[in-house]
Amino acid sequence: MNKERHEAPGPQVLRRGLRVLRVLREAGGDAMHVVDIASAAGMQRSTVYRYLDVLVEEGYVLREGRAPRWRVAELGVLMAGDLHADAVRRLRPAMRQISDVSGDASFLVCRAGGDSLCLHRELGNYPVQVLTVTIGHRQPLGVGAAGLALLAALPDAEAREVIAQNEATLRAYGGMTAVQMYRLVENTRDRGWSVVANAAVPGVLGVGIALCNSAGYPYLAVSVSSLIDRMPAARQRSIAASIRAQLAQWGAAEPGMK
């Protein structure tokens, strides 16, 4: 095991976290195993895990699936001028208000190929927060409420293609089938907002709204997740209306527009 040199609290703790981030940045876009990160940083593996958790939470680092490999979010949400970073800056106040009103966590998600990618999240004030995904987390498009909102807003042929591509991976989420996923898409289109329960996380229900550009093509989605017991139909409608109202108030224009 690696031997760590003694470091005082306070600024030294920050320096250690930055050391982990620097190791990942020096690796470029390549993902690193936690063992290699610990070795390069001169730190214990258990300590590195703690710093990685925080860095992922804040969006500086991405974890590759469930493997113990991480990479810096070099093309991610925090680069200056990046459209995703612009979206986070623009919509953070709206998400903050959504979580304040609902008491539950809200999530900002974009599409990444056949997956959804979490760009940002805000916590509510209810004692039990359902943190279904962390910043940088990817999962098949449609599994979560925001991803389903994006999937349902796609042109039908494109949505069917995404579902077909994800058919094998969907089974890992409660045995979801392509037929069931397309039924969720149809329900979302009929309703005008998405609802997903017991998919990625049992006992959890999410409500999502997609943001579309001037051509009607979806590029972002916002969702709120909570315990199923807190999400009867009337509250689902109320949350969907709250998301819409806040996004309209904060000028959720398409990327690159002011």
pLDDT tens digit string along 219-253?
899 999 999 999 999 999 999 999 999 988 765 54
CA 52 to chain centre: 16
Residue labelled with tokens 């979560």:
144
pLDDT at 7 over 60: no
pLDDT at 154 over 90: yes
pLDDT at 204 over 80: yes
- pLDDT band at residue 59, thresholds of 50, 70 and 90? low
End-to-end, the C-alpha distance of the chain in Å comes to 52
pLDDT at 171 over 80: yes
**pLDDT confidence of residue 190:** 96
Name which residue leads in pLDDT, 130 or 123: 123
Residue 38 CA to residue 98 CA, distance in Å, equals 39
- Measured at the alpha carbon of residue 62, what is the angle toward residues 59 and 67, in degrees to the nearest 5? 150
Q: How many helices (H) and strands (E) does the chain have?
A: 9, 9
Q: In 3-state terms, what secondary structure has residue 32?
A: strand
**pLDDT confidence of residue 251:** 53
Residue 199 CA to residue 178 CA, distance in Å, equals 13
Residue ranges of domains in the chain, CATH in brackets: 11-72 (1.10.10.10), 83-249 (3.30.450.40)
What is the percent of the chain with per-residue pLDDT over 90, rounded to a whole number? 48
Which H or E run contains 196? strand 194-197
- pLDDT band at residue 42, thresholds of 50, 70 and 90? very high
User: Over the range 57-75, which residues count as b (16 or more CB within 10 Å of their CB) and which as e?
Assistant: ebbbbbbeeeebbbbbbee
pLDDT at 2 over 50: no
Cα distances from 161 to residues 14, 73, 155, 156, in angstroms, run 45, 28, 10, 9
Residue 150 CA to residue 168 CA, distance in Å, equals 20
pLDDT at 63 over 70: yes
Task: Provide the whole-model pTM.
Answer: 0.68
- pLDDT band at residue 61, thresholds of 50, 70 and 90? confident
Phi, psi at 63, each rounded to 5°? -100, 140
Span 53-71, mean pLDDT? 76
Given a contact cutoff of 8 angstroms between Cβ atoms, the answer to whether 225 and 105 are in contact is yes
pLDDT at 257 over 60: no
